[in-house]
Structure 1
């Protein structure tokens, strides 16, 4: 499919429309069923993805929601670097700040670093609480 998209000079947003156009038989029936099930919900999920932030979730919880919602907004995660950038943008400012000194271009690298930073922050918090009790 990627070769066809390149040859046809399809932009990211057009890829899905073209792929739907070439579906046949049961595959096209499945797609129609998905559209009926989701209806406008797909647009809502895409909006949720664009606005997704870690907030009070753990990095693991944020990653789970990010992965789920990204299926509704493939144009925002078309490349590994896009996926990594979008994920990093949704992290809490303190985690983003600590990650800024690293050049992480893959999603897995960004995820792993965010998990390490979160774990270290929790250890530091526990250590500070323990010292205050002494």
Structure 2
């Protein structure tokens, strides 16, 4: 009876795996990888687009069954143009037959495409950023883009609010300077509302 029950359990588990399309020790093929439409990477305008591409590829890998070596191999096939040439040169510096893990791939990729000097330039842009003649939405867009380069200034809600507040235009700063919010999104939402009220007031005054 025990042997019969064991066989039934094994057959049930096997049938479930077949229905799910998975077999023991079966790994996803390169075709499986291409079927989930991983983005091709050729060139960038912003250095952190490299990081965004890596994050997207990693999310894609969550849908597959692949080893760390397969990740590096599959991802490298999505590198084209100047970045593809860089990868070929990188491989030529390794010993013959060397295997590259996904962590090694990411370290080399970030080290080449997101150099410290460029990160410092972007950080300087962030520190100089002000609203000026931009609308609050335009200022927010630039702030969010540049804040990725200075995590130490935006790694808490309080720091992010203070950094955002620092660059506000004079009129909004007068209203929002002592404003207290629990989250950055809440602060921005209230600032957008205040900007709209200021614009309505200015329009009504101009009409009179």
Could you say which TM-score interval applies, normalised by the shorter chain? Answer: 0.7 to 0.9
Native 8 Å contact 1:80 1:107 kept in 2: yes
Q: Secondary structure at the match of 1:103?
A: coil
Alignment of 1:1-134 (within 5 A): 24-36=103-115, 40-131=117-208
CA distance in 2, matches of 1:101, 1:73: 24
Aligned pair count? 107
Shift of 1:101: 4.7
Which structure is higher in helix share?
1
**Structure number with bigger Rg:** 2
Native 8 Å contact 1:88 1:110 kept in 2: no
Unaligned runs of at least 5 residues, structure 1: 1-22
Q: Secondary structure at the match of 1:32?
A: helix
Native 8 Å contact 1:84 1:105 kept in 2: no
Cα 1:49–1:101, aligned 2, differ >3 Å: closer, same or farther? closer
- TM-score (structure 1 length as normaliser): 0.73
- TM-score (structure 2 length as normaliser): 0.48
What are the Cα deviations for residues 90-133 of structure 1, in whole angstroms up to 9, with x where unaligned?
101221221245312321111111111111111111111111xx
Deviates more, 1:40-49 or 1:56-65: 40-49
Quick one: higher RCO (CA 8 Å, sep 6+), 1 or 2? 1
Cα 1:101–1:86, aligned 2, differ >3 Å: closer, same or farther? closer
Q: Secondary structure at the match of 2:114?
A: helix
Q: Which residue number in structure 2 is paired with residue 8 of structure 1?
A: none
Unaligned runs of at least 5 residues, structure 2: 1-101
